[in-house]
Structure formats: C-alpha cells, structure tokens
Structure 1
Amino acid sequence: MSKKYAFLFPGQGAQAPGMAKDIAESSAAAKKVIDDISAITGLDMAKLLWESTPEDLARSDNSQIAITAASLATMAALKEKGIEPSSAMGFSLGEFPALYAAGVLSFEDVVKVVRQRGIIMQKVCEEIAAKSEGRAPGMTAVLGLSQEQVKALVEPIEDAYAANMNSDKQTVVSGTFDALDKVEAAAKDAGARRAVRLKVAGPFHSPLMQDAAVEFEKFLADVKFNNPKINLFSNVTGGKVIDGDQAKKAAVLHLTHPVLWTDEEACLAGVIKEDGVENSAVLEVGPGKVLSGLWGQTEFGAGIAATPVNTAEGISNL
C-alpha cells in the first residue's frame, strides 16, 4: 500500500530571507514555479525571496506571495520525488497553497488570489494604523493559558479578539495597538507564561479586517473554486471542506474569523487513524517549522511526528 502524505502549509510569520533558495537551485520543477509566479505577478520573485530585508518581507503584500511561492516550489520538488498529498491543510495564509494542492484553485488563480489578498490586507492594516496615529494593530501570542482562559480574558477588552487557536496552551489575539497592550498586561496578571507581540502586519482573523473581507470578496467573484480532490480542512470550520462553494465562502470569512487549528489537527488525526499511522506521514511544506511544533504538542504527535520540509537536503532525505 502506498504511503499517505498529509501536507501542512505555514502561514504569515514563517517568512525569512533566502527561503527555498537551495530547493529552487536543486529542482527544475521548483525553479519553474518561482519563474512562473514572477511571470504571473510581474514581480521578481527570486529577488523578493532571496534579497529582501526581514522588514520588507514582513509586509503582507510581500510576505503572502513570497511564502506561497516557497511553499509551492517545495511542493513541486516533492512531486518530482513522487511525493504528493492525500490530505492538505494550511495555517491562515497557508490555506491557499492547500487549496491549490487539493485542486480547488488552479496554479494561476492561487497566485493571483494570494497576491491580491496580500495587497488588500496591507492597505487595510495601514488604514487602521493611520487612524491610530501610527500605532499599528497586530497580534499577540499568549502562552501558558488555555484557549478558554484567553477568550475570557479578551472579552471585556474592546478591539481585542482571540484569533488563532494554535494549541491548548497557545492562543494568538488580534487587536489594535492599545488593545494588545491591555491583553498583554491582563495575560501576565492571569499567570500566562509569556505574552509576545508578533511581527505581523495587522490584526488578522478578526472583525477589524472586515473592510479587507468586503474587498476580497469582490475580487473572488469571478474566480472558480473546484471541489477538492483530496482531504482538505478549513480554518473557518475546523473540519473537512465539502465542496468548492464552501471553500470560496470560507476564503472570505477567513479574514475575519479565527483559525481553528486545533480542531483541524484533530480532524486530520482521525483521517490518519483510518489510513493507519504506520502508512502515513505528516509533512510541513514550506518555510519554518512552527506547524510541526504545534502538531508535536498534541496527543496525536506522540503517534506520528510532523517533519518540516524546507530545504533541499530535507527533501532528499525523505
């Protein structure tokens, strides 16, 4: 029986200058992905990926297309090796490479969609910051408290929202600059191990991104979303994606609704159990290793580890 692979795609924050460079240099398929994305977007993707400063890469209009390019290039190199997914899910931005992996979006469409999504989100974040006299909105990771504790903690704080359900002991909160100051103080008072402001461009997955959702929905109007060809999981529902219509609606809701990552992990674990742990592998496809770490913190991680795949050597060792 052939091995079943689950691909996890990282989200914004995983970016780093130089990502996927060795993969593109060692894989013709990966290099073609980078070149094709350059042609579709009009951007010099090689320069963006490998010569940008961390500050430039942190912008949503740069990081989203760059991370997607790195993830798609890595996936192409894996395909060269005969490794393709039977399940896919992505964290936040990573859901879009997952949509491509599942056949929901074409290559050209996923590139165009991610590029426009990043532009829209960057613009809205800058508008929010301007209204706050330059005190940029963002996200704070609260470590050491349960999801329910964090939800209760942020409820009385205006413009603060539990946004990313990363693990039982790690929840990310979105909000305005001042709201996050209050969240961080309240978290420490509640006994949190740490409350860390993240290097992201805005208050993602919260109602503060409603303007971006409205604009993104208009852009998606004419984009075709097919039914998934493999198991595909949704940040918005925490479960399997049923069809293309649901995926399209979720792509818009995605901007204003929390990422139910722990629910998705449990859903994927159920699929792996059905397929057989000994016949399955979980790969984090793209820059970083955050998702592998989160998977390792779950009860499922003890039975099957997630492997970060972000270098040419890592691919060759599979």
Structure 2
Amino acid sequence: MKKYAFLFPGQGAQVPGMIKDLCDAYPEARKVVDEVTKITGVDMPKLLWESDQAELSRSDNSQLAITTASLAVMEVLKSKGIEASAAMGFSLGEFPALYAAGVLSFEDVIKVVRQRGLIMQATCENIAKANEGHAPGMTAVIGLSQEQVAEIAKKIPDAYAANLNSSVQTVVSGTFDALTAVEAAAKEAGARRALRLQVAGPFHSPLMQEAADNFEKAIADVTFNSPSKKLFSNVTGKEATDGAEIKKNAVLHLTNPVRWTDEEKVLFDMMEADKDNEWTLIEPGVGKVLAGLWAKTDYAEKYSCAPVNSVETLDALNA
C-alpha cells in the first residue's frame, strides 16, 4: 500500500503570488483561501497575490500566508486521493502538521496561527526598539558542523543555535548586532556561507520568551487532540502522541531549537520499520527547502521527497 508523509515548510518560504496557479485551477484550493479570509478578516487573496516580499516577510503576514498555502495544497492532494499518514513541519510548519494529524481543527489552526504571528511580530518589534531600531533575525551558517556553530553562538551575547537543519547547515537566532558578529566568526572559522534569512525575528531562542508567555495565554482555551496519525515534534525531535504534551510544546517551540535532523532520522526509522507499505514524502505549500534538506541526507537514496507548490509540481507528482 502507498503511504505519504507530509513535511510542511516554515517561515522564509513565502513568495509573492504563491499558489495562485493552483487556486485558479482547483476550486478546493481557492475555497481554503476564502475560508481563511472569513475566519480572520484578513483579505487573503490580496495578501498572497498582491503583497511584496517585505510585507509578506512580517511574522503576522507570513505565518498566515504559508499556513493557508499548505492547507490549500493539502485539499488539492486530498481530491487526488493523497492524504498524510505521517506529518511533521519545520518551525511554523508544525501547525499545518497538527491539522493534518487531527490535533487541531481547521478553524482552530487558522486562529492559532493568526495569534502566533501577531504575538511574534510584536515581540520582534520590541526587540528592535531595544536595539536602536535594528531588527533581530536569523542567519543560516553553511559548511560548519552543528557543534561548531553552537560553539560560536555560545561566545556571542544574544546569539543562539536555533534550527538544526542538517549536518552542515545550522541557523542562528539573535539580535542584529549578534548576527553580524556570528557571520564574521563563522566565515573566519571556514563556513562556506553565512546568509541572513528573510524572517522577522530571532525565532526558537530565549529572545522570544515574551512571545511564548503571551502565546500560552492565547491558546489556553484551545483543544489540542491526541494525533490520529504519526506526528513528530520540533521540540523533542521524536514522535508526539499526547495532545496535552503537544500543547505544551507549542509554547516551548518559540524558545527552543528546531531538531529537524532528529525528526528526519525518526521518520526514516519509522518508514524502514513499516515493511508492508511504500512511503513517499511530500512537501505541500510553498518552496522546496525541506525537499532540498532531505535530498542531502543518506535517507534520500531510498525515499524521495517531492515539493508540491504549483500545478506543474502537482502534475509531476501524479505522472
């Protein structure tokens, strides 16, 4: 039997005009966009298709836009008989994964992501004010080990190893000045690149504690069900099975690293143990970052990961 694992992208994947062709071609995708508009009061067609990159990069915009794109693609895949048997998401991508696994309802995941984006944007603006208007953010260090990058970050105040993307790619969160120092130190240590990302803040680091406190209050009355499908956690790097624990981790998520390489390993081990089924990985939504990270692992020799973000990539999946 054919089974699918969905890997959902996070902030930074956003692009102006995203999923426009899919929404034009598939009414079920457009229906998701319109439903999000109804739930949030945000003009989603305008945000998705008329915003420039700077506007889309704000946390209050990008989180809602990327989540909407992922859910819209999921609906199109569902119409083709393709549904997730396992789900995990990178950073923000954990929230569409929670929906895919039955932890959050459609309405709740949209409301939660909307609040999360607003809260995180406010915290980022507060950090910028405290740093003479210099916006905090994240830098991807490529070509050094996770341990080397963690060591560099430890020596620089307000810098934290945040996203453990691969054996040679680690993302550091920090204030503007901290990231400038990290970039210089990384290049001196032999990094191939140190690239400032198109995100609005120092996510997955202690600098986001204010946001975590506010987010905990915002989701206090939201029901997190235990997952009905295999689900994996950024916070633990392991399978998540309990709704109450998943709710706690949704808050810890804001201040703790994304253990993506651990999740990839756990997913691979699960697929390997499932001898009766044939597994395919799909990245639904925007971009192909996670498919690219997967392709650089040893696991890609046995299991492929296909991005689905347009009519063309959907047709390629069905071919």
**Same fold per TM (> 0.5)?**
yes
Aligned pairs (5 A) from 1:136-147: 136-147=135-146
User: In the alignment, which residue of structure 1 is the partner of 2:103?
Assistant: 104
Distance 1:187 1:117 in 2: 31
Aligned pairs (5 A) from 1:254-265: 254-265=253-264
Between stretches 268-277 and 237-246, larger displacement belongs to 268-277
SS at match of 1:234: coil
1:277 and 1:303 in contact (8 A); partners too: no
Aligned pairs (5 A) from 1:37-186: 37-186=36-185
Partner amino acid, structure 2, of 1:74: V
How far the C-alpha of 1:275 sits from its partner, in A, is 2.4
How far the C-alpha of 1:299 sits from its partner, in A, is 1.0
Aligned pairs (5 A) from 1:212-291: 212-276=211-275, 279-291=278-290
Could you state the TM-score of these two structures normalised by the residue count of structure 1? 0.98
Q: CA RMSD in A?
A: 1.0
2:3 and 2:277 in contact (8 A); partners too: no
Aligned pairs (5 A) from 1:6-21: 6-21=5-20
Q: Specify every segment of 5 or more residues in structure 2 that has no aligned partner in the other structure, as ranges.
A: none
Distance 1:38 1:189 in 2: 47
Distance 1:224 1:76 in 2: 23
Q: Specify every segment of 5 or more residues in structure 1 that has no aligned partner in the other structure, as ranges.
A: none
Distance 1:271 1:111 in 2: 29
How far the C-alpha of 1:269 sits from its partner, in A, is 0.4
Between stretches 208-217 and 300-309, larger displacement belongs to 300-309
How far the C-alpha of 1:103 sits from its partner, in A, is 0.3
| Count of residue correspondences | 317
| Sequence identity percentage | 65
Could you state the TM-score of these two structures normalised by the residue count of structure 2? 0.98
How far the C-alpha of 1:278 sits from its partner, in A, is 7.2
How far the C-alpha of 1:303 sits from its partner, in A, is 1.3
Distance 1:221 1:149 in 2: 38
Distance 2:154 2:37 in 1: 43
How far the C-alpha of 1:316 sits from its partner, in A, is 3.0
How far the C-alpha of 1:14 sits from its partner, in A, is 0.2
Distance 2:315 2:171 in 1: 34
Can you list the C-alpha shifts for 1:229-264, whole angstroms capped at 9, x where unaligned?
Answer: 100000000000021011100100000000000000
1:277 and 1:304 in contact (8 A); partners too: no
Can you list the C-alpha shifts for 1:267-305, whole angstroms capped at 9, x where unaligned?
Answer: 110111122497110001110000000001111012112
Can you list the C-alpha shifts for 1:7-28, whole angstroms capped at 9, x where unaligned?
Answer: 0000000000111111111112
Partner amino acid, structure 2, of 1:180: L
SS at match of 1:222: coil
SS at match of 1:301: helix
How far the C-alpha of 1:101 sits from its partner, in A, is 0.2
Distance 2:151 2:12 in 1: 26
Distance 1:189 1:228 in 2: 45
2:139 and 2:183 in contact (8 A); partners too: yes
CA pair 117-252 structure 1, distance change in 2 beyond 3 A:
same
